[in-house]
Amino acid sequence: MKYLRVPRQISLADVKAKDASWSAGMYRTVEIPNSHRRPVRELIAGYDKGSDPGSIYYLDKSTHYFIRTKSLQAHSYLISSKGGAITPLNPRVFEDMSLTDGDILLSKDSNVGECAMVDGHGWRNHTLSGGVVRLRPSINRHYLFAFLKHDLFKTELLSMVPRGATIAHANELWLDCLIPFPAQRDADDVISYVAALTKAAVETEAAIRVRNEEINAQIEGELIGNQTGKKFQYCYPTLDELRSTLRLDTGLYCRGFRAFQHSVNNYRHGATTLSAMGVRSRRGPNLAVSIIGKSLYSENYKPGWYELIRPVNISEYGHAQFAGMARLAEEAAYGQSRRLDPRL
């Protein structure tokens, strides 16, 4: 919530809207020192809502799929399928939304304020949950997406929801969130610049995913095409295996991992381990309070502090994922970019 500020003055209407509360925290809001701001509702031609057929229509396999709110994540510009975020759906209740390349999806429930962009044209057999809306921008979609993806947008949206209220109160409030625009002579160039960098970030992430699939396909093809011929047969773990791992809550015993392990162990040209090849690793410290005491965290950079890299920062596509366009959008919002007039 680093973008929230307590205003120097408030109107009588503000007091009435807060039920005459005199708590300063109730009036915190995002203040953008730029008079050229427009609400999201003025920047879109409309939006399309998803639907909720109910979990009874979820399937293990299907030709049609259901995109849930958790497929929109802060660390990704594109839709994420991790953790059942995209669920096979019974075709009988499928509602065709004709999703296409460049569509902007926004979550108005659950992880409210998160958004992602549709990449490619293979999404016609996918539909949206009731907690997701598809925007129809009337301006440059990548410029709008740059700010929707910024913490500024989410912070402002959450500040609008009354404390103690359910997240359902945010269903339409996102339409009132403000998007800043440059006011200088080369405003169009700045907008194009922000949009171009955002588009490049989206395309880079898409290229990483494609390359990851190609690498995995080559590895799988090499393994399958060079097996010794020994047939895989799944079996439950032995007592010795349980003693060696000292764990029951592990995926080492599942059929999928065992099958992969079998293909590696029976690779015709042999297999080894990283440690046997001389690779040494060191895990990070245990951050539990009982181990290292109380830790201090900050959303802002502080000299001498460490940057904490967590498992969530490593994507399933094999790359680190940190803030991308956030700093660029922030500069545009606050007029700190060298391309922007500081008098915005």
Is the distance from CB of 182 to CB of 340 less than 8 angstroms? yes
Is the distance from CB of 132 to CB of 65 less than 8 angstroms? no
Is the distance from CB of 145 to CB of 171 less than 8 angstroms? no
- Is residue 221 scored above 90 in pLDDT? yes
Residue 254, classed as helix, strand or coil, is coil
217 in any annotated domain: no
DSSP 116-146: EE--SS--TTEEE-TTEEEEEESS-HHHHHH
pLDDT tens column, 250-300: 888 999 999 999 999 999 999 999 999 999 988 888 877 787 788 888 877
pLDDT, position 340: 40
pLDDT tens column, 44-81: 999 999 999 988 999 999 999 999 999 998 888 999 88
- Is residue 319 scored above 80 in pLDDT? no
Is the distance from CB of 85 to CB of 125 less than 8 angstroms? no
pLDDT, position 332: 53
Structure-model confidence comparison of residues 83 and 177, the more confident one: 177
Alpha helix positions (H), 54-169: 141-148, 151-160
254 in any annotated domain: yes
With cut-offs at 50, 70 and 90, classify the pLDDT of residue 329: low
Lowest pLDDT segment from 27-41, 47-61, 210-224: 27-41
Other beta carbons less than 10 A from residue 119's beta carbon: 20
Region of 175 (left: φ > 0; alpha: ψ -120 to 50; beta: rest) is alpha
246 in any annotated domain: yes
Buried b (16+ CB within 10 A) or exposed e, 1-14: eebeeeeeeeeeee
pLDDT tens column, 161-185: 665 444 554 568 899 999 999 888 8
Based on the number of CB atoms within 10 Å of its own CB, is 223 exposed (0-12), middle (13-18) or buried (19 or more)?
Answer: middle
248 in any annotated domain: yes
Lowest pLDDT segment from 62-66, 192-196, 266-270, 329-333: 329-333
- Is residue 328 scored above 80 in pLDDT? no
201 in any annotated domain: no
pLDDT, position 343: 36
Distance separating alpha carbons of residues 46 and 104, to the nearest angstrom: 12
- Is residue 2 scored above 90 in pLDDT? no
141-148 vs 326-334: helix axis angle to the nearest 10?
100
CA 64 to chain CA centroid, nearest Å? 23
- Is residue 43 scored above 90 in pLDDT? yes
Looking at residues 302-322, what average pLDDT do you find?
76
The partner residues of 314 in beta bridges, in order of sequence, read 320
Average pLDDT, the chain: 84
With cut-offs at 50, 70 and 90, classify the pLDDT of residue 344: very low
- Is residue 20 scored above 60 in pLDDT? yes
Looking at residues 4-26, what average pLDDT do you find?
78
- Strand 44-49: give its sheet, edge to edge: 44-49, 132-137, 104-107, 115-117
- Is residue 150 scored above 50 in pLDDT? yes
195 in any annotated domain: no
Distance separating alpha carbons of residues 214 and 202, to the nearest angstrom: 19
- Is residue 301 scored above 60 in pLDDT? yes
pLDDT tens column, 107-119: 988 788 999 999 9
Structure-block tokens of residue 182: 């440059």
Determine the structural domain holding residue 260 and report its residue range.
227-266
- Closest Cα to residue 131, out of 91, 71, 89, 83? 71
44 in any annotated domain: no
Lowest pLDDT segment from 57-61, 172-176, 317-321, 324-328: 324-328
pLDDT, position 342: 36
Is the distance from CB of 213 to CB of 253 less than 8 angstroms? no
- Closest Cα to residue 93, out of 49, 50, 149? 50
45 in any annotated domain: no
Residue type, 262: H
With cut-offs at 50, 70 and 90, classify the pLDDT of residue 121: confident
Per the structure, how many domains does the chain have?
1
